[in-house]
Amino acid sequence: MSAPADTALSHRARSLLRAVRVGRAVLICGCQPHLLVDGLHVCDMDTLTLAGLIGPTIPGQVGMRVLARLTDAGTRALEMTA
């Protein structure tokens, strides 16, 4: 699933995508991954993973923390708002 091209990202979402891009974010694997930036839980931004903008760098087991990465769609979305 990918985010529609006409969907505007909030300032917060863009900031989170930039944090993922520079390696400051991890995902806690599960059926709905949870995002952490600088070790802090990010509430209500699971939509970034559900929209296909971020994902894990490697497959992980439930509860495992893995580095988050921008997907191709996430990179495009961030470039469109620059």
pLDDT at 81 over 90: no
The string of pLDDT tens digits covering residues 21-71 is: 999 999 999 888 899 999 999 987 778 988 999 999 999 999 999 999 999
Our measurement of the distance from residue 66's CA atom to the centroid of its chain's CA atoms, rounded to an integer in Å, reads: 12
Query: Where are the domains positioned within the chain?
Result: 11-80
Is the pTM of the predicted complex or chain greater than 0.75? yes
pLDDT digits (tens, 9 = 90+) for 5-25: 446 889 999 999 999 999 999
CA distance 36 to 22: 13
- Round to whole Å and give the CA distance between 54 and 69: 6
